[in-house]
Amino acid sequence: MLGDLLGRSGREAAINALPELRRQLRLDFVSVNAENASHGFGLAPDMAAALFAAGADVITLGNHAWDRREIIPYIAQEKRLLRPLNFPPGTPGAGSAIFTLPDGRRILVAQAIGRLFMEAMDCPFQAVEALLSRHRMGGQLHAAIIDFHAEASSEKMAFGHAFDGRVSAITGTHTHIPSADHQILPNGTAYATDLGMCGDYDSVIGMAKAPAIARFIRKMPTERLAPAEGPATLCGAFIETADSGLGLRIEPVRLGGRLNPVMPQV
């Protein structure tokens, strides 16, 4: 699972790295959050197509889902592109999907968006509870992963514990800074508070430094924020599941750019 792709730097890093990552780590399935892939705000259909071609099996969005309006008709027909499950009823697209691997195993993927320090949305806990009441691991469902797109680490941790033992993995996105708490929760769900971004870390959460700093100092409108365009660090998590669907292993993945590299051994 890869964290938020930020602008051209993060997008191109993911596209270039995914084929080799799939081979090196022997990956069965790849999830990518790409809500910031288009100049930091939204996702364009051609960018989604390029990520799928590079090896992404599913793309998730977030609070910037509709910043590129042309994604709205695209998501209505592209089942591999997911928006938050707890968006209001009638929103285009879907918040979850079941994918079948070449060997016949089936994986449920869902995204929910948090409410603390975010725009008002339906309750993510209730939305996921309703989803999991219909789809239980075991039998014909071999794994389930959730991208929880939220601001507050407390809400993310509460969410992880709330569904511990019922899904394979819950990983956070949105804050663009990788957390160091990768773990298997007591009942068997792999968890990390935030995957971090795939983007230039010589930045302010992926955006060019000077305009972002000026906003804090002057407390006045500045030029529009734009992504930093230096070398990107690819950030995410490598997750291995048991036959039961529960998590066996979760480790950080960091590749390129400024952050210290971490690559799991397989």
Active-site amino acid positions: 64
Query: CA-to-CA distance for 103 and 126, rounded, in angstroms?
Result: 32
Rounded Cα distance, 157 and 136, in Å:
22
Residue with tokens 């957390």: 179
Q: Where are the alpha helices (DSSP H) in the chain?
A: 7-24, 45-54, 71-77, 124-134, 153-162, 209-218
* Cα 247 to Cα 67, 172, 260, distances in angstroms: 34, 16, 25
C-alpha closest to that of 6 among 202, 176, 214, 190: 176
Given its phi and psi angles, is residue 140 left (phi above 0), alpha (psi -120 to 50 degrees) or beta? alpha
Residue 77: CA count within 13 A, CB half-sphere? 5
